[in-house]
Amino acid sequence: MIQVEHLTKCYGDVMAVRDLSFEIDEGHVYGFLGPNGAGKSTTMNIMTGCLSATSGRVLIDGHDIFEEPKEAKRLMGYLPEQPPLYLGESPVEYLTFVGRAKGLKGEELKHQVTDVMAQTKIEHVAHRRIGDLSKGYRQRVGIAQALLGNPKVIILDEPTVGLDPIQIIEIRDLIRELGRTHTVIFSSHILSEVQAICDRILIIAHGKLVAFDCPENLERDLLTQNQITLTTQAGPDEVQEVLDRLDHLSDITFQAKEGGYTQTHFHTSHPKPYEMTRQLFWAFAESDVPLLEMTLKKASLEDVFLELTETAPAQEDEAEEMDEEVEEA
Ligand code: ADP
Ligand code: MG
Protein backbone atom coordinates (compact mmCIF):
# COMPACT_ATOMS: atom_id res chain seq x y z
CA MET A 1 0.00 0.00 0.00
CA ILE A 2 2.73 2.51 1.01
CA GLN A 3 6.41 2.14 0.26
CA VAL A 4 8.90 4.50 1.83
CA GLU A 5 12.33 4.07 0.25
CA HIS A 6 15.56 5.55 1.57
CA LEU A 7 13.89 8.69 2.77
CA THR A 8 16.22 11.43 4.01
CA LYS A 9 15.35 14.94 5.11
CA CYS A 10 17.79 17.64 6.13
CA TYR A 11 16.77 20.98 7.58
CA GLY A 12 20.03 22.83 7.00
CA ASP A 13 22.53 21.00 9.18
CA VAL A 14 19.88 18.99 11.02
CA MET A 15 19.31 15.53 9.57
CA ALA A 16 15.75 14.88 10.76
CA VAL A 17 15.20 11.65 8.79
CA ARG A 18 18.04 9.33 7.81
CA ASP A 19 17.67 6.76 5.10
CA LEU A 20 14.28 5.57 6.32
CA SER A 21 12.70 2.61 4.50
CA PHE A 22 9.57 0.65 5.37
CA GLU A 23 6.39 -0.75 3.87
CA ILE A 24 2.81 -0.34 5.03
CA ASP A 25 0.31 -3.08 4.12
CA GLU A 26 -3.39 -2.61 3.86
CA GLY A 27 -5.68 -3.30 6.78
CA HIS A 28 -3.55 -2.73 9.85
CA VAL A 29 -3.19 -0.08 12.50
CA TYR A 30 0.41 1.10 12.54
CA GLY A 31 1.95 2.95 15.46
CA PHE A 32 4.74 5.31 14.68
CA LEU A 33 6.54 5.42 17.99
CA GLY A 34 9.46 7.62 18.96
CA PRO A 35 10.52 10.29 21.43
CA ASN A 36 10.08 13.97 20.63
CA GLY A 37 12.38 15.06 17.84
CA ALA A 38 12.69 11.51 16.44
CA GLY A 39 11.45 12.58 13.02
CA LYS A 40 7.84 11.33 13.14
CA SER A 41 6.17 14.55 11.95
CA THR A 42 8.80 15.12 9.28
CA THR A 43 8.25 11.61 7.91
CA MET A 44 4.46 11.96 7.96
CA ASN A 45 4.61 15.37 6.30
CA ILE A 46 6.73 13.90 3.50
CA MET A 47 4.56 10.78 3.14
CA THR A 48 1.48 12.96 2.72
CA GLY A 49 3.12 15.31 0.24
CA CYS A 50 3.13 18.32 2.55
CA LEU A 51 6.90 18.53 2.66
CA SER A 52 9.62 17.74 0.13
CA ALA A 53 12.29 15.16 0.84
CA THR A 54 16.03 15.71 0.50
CA SER A 55 16.26 12.27 -1.11
CA GLY A 56 14.36 9.00 -1.33
CA ARG A 57 10.85 8.28 -2.51
CA VAL A 58 7.37 7.47 -1.28
CA LEU A 59 4.90 5.37 -3.27
CA ILE A 60 1.22 5.32 -2.38
CA ASP A 61 -0.43 2.36 -4.11
CA GLY A 62 2.26 2.68 -6.77
CA HIS A 63 1.90 6.46 -7.17
CA ASP A 64 4.96 8.56 -6.41
CA ILE A 65 3.94 11.28 -3.94
CA PHE A 66 6.16 13.85 -5.68
CA GLU A 67 5.51 12.85 -9.29
CA GLU A 68 1.81 12.00 -9.10
CA PRO A 69 0.72 13.96 -6.02
CA LYS A 70 -2.94 14.12 -7.04
CA GLU A 71 -3.40 10.36 -7.38
CA ALA A 72 -1.29 9.64 -4.30
CA LYS A 73 -2.92 12.23 -2.04
CA ARG A 74 -6.42 11.05 -2.91
CA LEU A 75 -5.63 7.77 -1.14
CA MET A 76 -4.66 9.41 2.13
CA GLY A 77 -6.38 11.46 4.80
CA TYR A 78 -4.03 13.38 7.07
CA LEU A 79 -4.37 14.99 10.46
CA PRO A 80 -1.19 17.02 10.95
CA GLU A 81 0.27 17.79 14.37
CA GLN A 82 -1.20 21.31 14.17
CA PRO A 83 -4.38 20.90 12.14
CA PRO A 84 -5.36 24.09 10.31
CA LEU A 85 -8.80 24.46 11.87
CA TYR A 86 -10.76 27.67 11.34
CA LEU A 87 -11.85 28.53 14.84
CA GLY A 88 -14.57 30.95 13.74
CA GLU A 89 -16.36 28.34 11.61
CA SER A 90 -18.61 25.50 12.67
CA PRO A 91 -17.59 21.89 12.02
CA VAL A 92 -20.16 21.57 9.26
CA GLU A 93 -18.90 24.74 7.52
CA TYR A 94 -15.28 23.72 7.90
CA LEU A 95 -15.87 20.15 6.68
CA THR A 96 -17.86 21.42 3.70
CA PHE A 97 -14.95 23.72 2.84
CA VAL A 98 -12.36 20.91 3.14
CA GLY A 99 -14.60 18.52 1.19
CA ARG A 100 -14.84 21.03 -1.65
CA ALA A 101 -11.07 21.42 -1.65
CA LYS A 102 -10.84 17.64 -2.00
CA GLY A 103 -13.06 17.86 -5.08
CA LEU A 104 -16.39 16.79 -3.61
CA LYS A 105 -19.57 18.61 -4.55
CA GLY A 106 -23.37 18.59 -4.44
CA GLU A 107 -25.16 15.69 -2.79
CA GLU A 108 -21.96 13.67 -2.50
CA LEU A 109 -20.32 16.48 -0.49
CA LYS A 110 -23.35 16.78 1.81
CA HIS A 111 -23.57 13.04 2.22
CA GLN A 112 -19.88 12.65 3.08
CA VAL A 113 -19.87 15.55 5.56
CA THR A 114 -22.83 13.94 7.37
CA ASP A 115 -21.08 10.60 7.22
CA VAL A 116 -17.73 11.68 8.68
CA MET A 117 -19.50 13.64 11.41
CA ALA A 118 -21.35 10.47 12.38
CA GLN A 119 -18.15 8.42 12.31
CA THR A 120 -16.36 10.86 14.61
CA LYS A 121 -19.51 11.48 16.73
CA ILE A 122 -19.60 15.24 16.35
CA GLU A 123 -23.15 15.66 14.98
CA HIS A 124 -24.38 17.36 18.14
CA VAL A 125 -21.73 20.09 17.89
CA ALA A 126 -22.05 20.48 14.10
CA HIS A 127 -23.20 24.09 14.30
CA ARG A 128 -21.09 25.39 17.17
CA ARG A 129 -17.95 27.50 16.66
CA ILE A 130 -14.90 25.22 16.46
CA GLY A 131 -13.13 27.74 18.71
CA ASP A 132 -15.66 27.02 21.47
CA LEU A 133 -15.20 23.23 21.34
CA SER A 134 -13.02 21.27 23.76
CA LYS A 135 -9.62 20.11 22.51
CA GLY A 136 -11.01 16.56 22.26
CA TYR A 137 -13.84 17.67 19.99
CA ARG A 138 -11.52 19.83 17.89
CA GLN A 139 -9.36 16.76 17.40
CA ARG A 140 -12.46 14.86 16.23
CA VAL A 141 -13.18 17.60 13.72
CA GLY A 142 -9.56 17.22 12.54
CA ILE A 143 -10.03 13.46 12.15
CA ALA A 144 -13.36 14.03 10.37
CA GLN A 145 -11.65 16.22 7.74
CA ALA A 146 -9.03 13.48 7.23
CA LEU A 147 -11.85 11.01 6.50
CA LEU A 148 -13.42 13.15 3.76
CA GLY A 149 -12.95 11.78 0.27
CA ASN A 150 -12.97 8.17 1.52
CA PRO A 151 -9.21 7.68 1.65
CA LYS A 152 -7.88 4.15 2.16
CA VAL A 153 -5.20 5.32 4.57
CA ILE A 154 -5.64 7.62 7.54
CA ILE A 155 -2.49 9.25 8.90
CA LEU A 156 -2.74 10.94 12.30
CA ASP A 157 0.16 12.84 13.86
CA GLU A 158 0.06 12.60 17.67
CA PRO A 159 -3.75 12.71 17.79
CA THR A 160 -3.93 12.41 21.59
CA VAL A 161 -1.41 15.09 22.56
CA GLY A 162 -2.84 17.71 24.88
CA LEU A 163 -6.04 15.79 25.63
CA ASP A 164 -7.31 14.87 29.07
CA PRO A 165 -7.42 11.16 30.05
CA ILE A 166 -11.08 10.70 29.10
CA GLN A 167 -10.63 12.40 25.74
CA ILE A 168 -7.54 10.24 25.15
CA ILE A 169 -9.56 7.06 25.70
CA GLU A 170 -12.27 8.33 23.33
CA ILE A 171 -9.78 9.17 20.58
CA ARG A 172 -8.05 5.79 21.02
CA ASP A 173 -11.42 4.05 20.67
CA LEU A 174 -12.10 6.09 17.56
CA ILE A 175 -8.72 5.08 16.07
CA ARG A 176 -9.48 1.43 16.79
CA GLU A 177 -12.85 1.79 15.09
CA LEU A 178 -11.30 3.46 12.04
CA GLY A 179 -8.83 0.58 11.92
CA ARG A 180 -11.68 -1.78 11.03
CA THR A 181 -12.33 0.01 7.75
CA HIS A 182 -9.05 1.81 7.01
CA THR A 183 -5.32 1.38 7.15
CA VAL A 184 -4.34 3.71 9.99
CA ILE A 185 -0.93 5.13 10.79
CA PHE A 186 -0.67 7.26 13.88
CA SER A 187 2.28 8.65 15.73
CA SER A 188 2.85 8.84 19.43
CA HIS A 189 5.69 9.17 21.92
CA ILE A 190 3.78 7.03 24.41
CA LEU A 191 4.59 3.34 24.24
CA SER A 192 1.54 2.12 26.17
CA GLU A 193 -0.74 3.95 23.77
CA VAL A 194 0.84 2.38 20.71
CA GLN A 195 0.80 -1.03 22.40
CA ALA A 196 -2.88 -0.64 23.21
CA ILE A 197 -4.07 0.25 19.73
CA CYS A 198 -1.65 -1.02 17.09
CA ASP A 199 -0.98 -4.38 15.58
CA ARG A 200 2.27 -3.11 14.00
CA ILE A 201 4.82 -0.88 15.69
CA LEU A 202 7.52 1.16 13.98
CA ILE A 203 10.02 2.53 16.44
CA ILE A 204 11.89 5.52 15.16
CA ALA A 205 14.80 7.27 16.87
CA HIS A 206 17.09 9.98 15.60
CA GLY A 207 15.45 9.78 12.20
CA LYS A 208 16.11 6.06 11.82
CA LEU A 209 13.88 3.04 11.95
CA VAL A 210 15.16 0.95 14.85
CA ALA A 211 12.40 -1.69 15.02
CA PHE A 212 9.32 -2.70 13.05
CA ASP A 213 7.12 -5.60 14.13
CA CYS A 214 3.95 -6.61 15.91
CA PRO A 215 4.00 -5.96 19.67
CA GLU A 216 4.34 -9.67 20.57
CA ASN A 217 7.36 -10.20 18.31
CA LEU A 218 9.01 -7.03 19.53
CA GLU A 219 8.71 -8.30 23.08
CA ARG A 220 9.94 -11.75 22.14
CA ASP A 221 12.83 -10.80 19.88
CA LEU A 222 14.13 -7.69 21.50
CA LEU A 223 14.02 -8.69 25.12
CA THR A 224 17.62 -9.71 25.36
CA GLN A 225 18.12 -7.81 28.56
CA ASN A 226 16.48 -10.15 31.02
CA GLN A 227 18.12 -9.75 34.41
CA ILE A 228 18.96 -12.54 36.79
CA THR A 229 19.98 -12.20 40.42
CA LEU A 230 21.41 -15.11 42.42
CA THR A 231 22.18 -15.43 46.09
CA THR A 232 24.75 -18.00 47.24
CA GLN A 233 26.89 -18.58 50.29
CA ALA A 234 29.88 -19.10 47.99
CA GLY A 235 32.21 -16.20 47.18
CA PRO A 236 32.55 -14.38 43.82
CA ASP A 237 35.38 -16.60 42.54
CA GLU A 238 33.41 -19.77 43.12
CA VAL A 239 30.28 -18.29 41.51
CA GLN A 240 32.28 -17.00 38.54
CA GLU A 241 33.69 -20.49 38.02
CA VAL A 242 30.18 -21.94 37.70
CA LEU A 243 28.98 -19.13 35.44
CA ASP A 244 32.00 -19.55 33.15
CA ARG A 245 30.55 -22.91 32.10
CA LEU A 246 27.41 -21.26 30.66
CA ASP A 247 26.69 -19.16 27.58
CA HIS A 248 24.39 -16.16 27.10
CA LEU A 249 25.50 -14.33 30.24
CA SER A 250 26.94 -10.82 30.43
CA ASP A 251 27.52 -7.84 32.73
CA ILE A 252 28.23 -10.00 35.77
CA THR A 253 28.60 -8.10 39.03
CA PHE A 254 28.97 -9.33 42.60
CA GLN A 255 27.76 -7.81 45.82
CA ALA A 256 28.85 -9.07 49.23
CA LYS A 257 25.97 -9.40 51.68
CA GLU A 258 25.97 -9.65 55.44
CA GLY A 259 26.53 -13.17 56.83
CA GLY A 260 28.92 -14.29 54.09
CA TYR A 261 26.33 -14.33 51.31
CA THR A 262 27.05 -13.17 47.77
CA GLN A 263 24.54 -11.63 45.48
CA THR A 264 25.36 -11.96 41.78
CA HIS A 265 23.66 -9.87 39.10
CA PHE A 266 23.90 -10.40 35.35
CA HIS A 267 22.02 -10.10 32.09
CA THR A 268 21.06 -12.98 29.85
CA SER A 269 20.50 -12.88 26.12
CA HIS A 270 19.09 -16.41 26.11
CA PRO A 271 15.94 -16.39 23.95
CA LYS A 272 14.17 -18.59 26.51
CA PRO A 273 14.78 -17.14 29.97
CA TYR A 274 13.42 -20.21 31.79
CA GLU A 275 15.81 -22.44 29.87
CA MET A 276 18.57 -20.19 31.18
CA THR A 277 17.40 -20.41 34.78
CA ARG A 278 17.11 -24.19 34.42
CA GLN A 279 20.73 -24.40 33.23
CA LEU A 280 21.83 -22.18 36.10
CA PHE A 281 20.02 -24.36 38.61
CA TRP A 282 21.77 -27.53 37.41
CA ALA A 283 25.18 -25.90 37.00
CA PHE A 284 25.15 -24.73 40.60
CA ALA A 285 23.76 -28.04 41.86
CA GLU A 286 26.41 -30.05 40.02
CA SER A 287 29.13 -27.81 41.46
CA ASP A 288 27.80 -28.33 44.98
CA VAL A 289 27.13 -24.63 45.30
CA PRO A 290 23.56 -24.40 46.54
CA LEU A 291 21.49 -21.61 45.02
CA LEU A 292 19.69 -19.97 47.91
CA GLU A 293 17.73 -17.55 45.77
CA MET A 294 17.30 -16.87 42.06
CA THR A 295 15.14 -14.12 40.57
CA LEU A 296 14.45 -13.43 36.91
CA LYS A 297 13.36 -9.92 35.98
CA LYS A 298 12.02 -9.94 32.45
CA ALA A 299 12.58 -6.76 30.53
CA SER A 300 9.43 -4.93 29.48
CA LEU A 301 8.69 -3.40 26.13
CA GLU A 302 9.21 -0.09 27.93
CA ASP A 303 12.83 -1.09 28.64
CA VAL A 304 13.31 -2.05 25.00
CA PHE A 305 11.83 1.22 23.82
CA LEU A 306 14.08 3.25 26.11
CA GLU A 307 17.12 1.28 25.12
CA LEU A 308 16.42 1.51 21.39
CA THR A 309 15.56 5.17 21.38
CA GLU A 310 17.99 6.54 23.91
CA THR A 311 21.07 4.50 24.60
CA ALA A 312 21.91 2.93 21.27
CA PRO A 313 21.58 5.88 18.84
CA ALA A 314 23.07 8.29 21.38
CA GLN A 315 26.18 6.13 21.60
CA GLU A 316 26.32 6.07 17.86
CA ASP A 317 26.10 9.85 17.75
CA GLU A 318 28.89 10.05 20.26
CA ALA A 319 30.92 7.70 18.12
CA GLU A 320 30.28 9.90 15.09
CA GLU A 321 31.28 12.97 17.05
CA MET A 322 34.42 11.23 18.25
CA ASP A 323 35.25 10.28 14.68
CA GLU A 324 34.89 13.90 13.70
CA GLU A 325 37.14 14.98 16.53
CA VAL A 326 39.73 12.46 15.48
CA GLU A 327 39.53 13.73 11.92
CA GLU A 328 39.95 17.30 13.10
CA ALA A 329 42.93 16.32 15.23
P1 ADP B 1 8.89 14.34 16.00
O2 ADP B 1 7.63 14.61 15.26
O3 ADP B 1 9.25 12.91 16.10
O4 ADP B 1 8.89 15.00 17.36
P5 ADP B 1 10.10 16.09 14.04
O6 ADP B 1 9.94 15.44 12.73
O7 ADP B 1 9.16 17.20 14.37
O8 ADP B 1 10.10 15.00 15.18
O9 ADP B 1 11.56 16.67 14.14
C10 ADP B 1 12.73 15.91 13.85
C11 ADP B 1 13.95 16.79 13.98
O12 ADP B 1 13.93 17.80 12.97
C13 ADP B 1 14.06 17.53 15.29
O14 ADP B 1 15.42 17.57 15.65
C15 ADP B 1 13.53 18.91 14.98
O16 ADP B 1 14.12 19.85 15.82
C17 ADP B 1 13.97 19.09 13.54
N18 ADP B 1 13.03 19.95 12.78
C19 ADP B 1 11.73 19.70 12.55
N20 ADP B 1 11.17 20.65 11.79
C21 ADP B 1 12.16 21.54 11.52
C22 ADP B 1 12.25 22.75 10.74
N23 ADP B 1 11.18 23.23 10.09
N24 ADP B 1 13.44 23.37 10.68
C25 ADP B 1 14.52 22.88 11.32
N26 ADP B 1 14.53 21.75 12.04
C27 ADP B 1 13.37 21.07 12.15
MG1 MG C 1 5.92 15.50 15.89
Ligand 1 atom at shortest distance from the alpha carbon of 17 = 10
Which residue's CA is the nearest one to ligand 1's atom 17?
A: 16
The domain tally of the chain equals 2
Do residues 146 and 276 share a domain?
Answer: no
Between 305 and 259, name the one with better pLDDT: 259
**Does residue 14's CB lie within 6 angstroms of at least one atom of ligand 1?**
yes
How far is it, in rounded angstroms, from Cα 139 to Cα 133? 10
Residues 185, 111, single domain; the answer is yes
Pair (189, 282) in one structural domain: no
Q: Cα(179)–Cα(132) distance, rounded to whole angstroms?
A: 29
User: How many angstroms is it from 42 CA to the middle of ligand 1?
Assistant: 6
Q: Which pTM was predicted?
A: 0.78
Q: Which range of residues forms the domain containing residue 182?
A: 2-215+305-328
Q: What is the pLDDT of residues 241-293, one digit of tens each?
A: 999 999 999 989 999 999 999 999 998 888 888 999 999 999 999 999 999 99
Kindly report, residue by residue over 61-120, the tens digit of the pLDDT: 999 999 999 999 999 999 999 888 889 999 999 999 999 999 999 999 999 999 999 999
Q: Please, what's the b/e burial string for 126-145 (b: 16 or more CB within 10 A of its CB; e: otherwise)?
A: eeeebeebeebbbbbbbbbb
Whether 201 and 316 map to the same domain: the answer is yes
Q: Are residues 111 and 170 in the same domain?
A: yes
CATH number for the domain harbouring residue 92: 3.40.50.300
Q: How confident is the model at residue 303 (pLDDT cuts 50, 70, 90)?
A: confident
Whether residue 324 sits in one domain with residue 245 = no
* Cα within 13 Å of Cα(197), Cβ side: 32
Ligand nearest to the CA of 158: 2
If asked whether residues 69 and 189 sit together in one domain, one would say yes
The answer to whether residue 8 is domain-embedded is yes
- Asked if residue 324 is part of any domain, the answer here is yes
Max Cα-Cα span within the chain: 85
190: left (phi over 0), alpha (psi -120 to 50) or beta: beta
Residues 177 and 282 in one domain: no
Residue 112 domain-assigned (yes or no): yes
Same domain, 89 and 186: yes
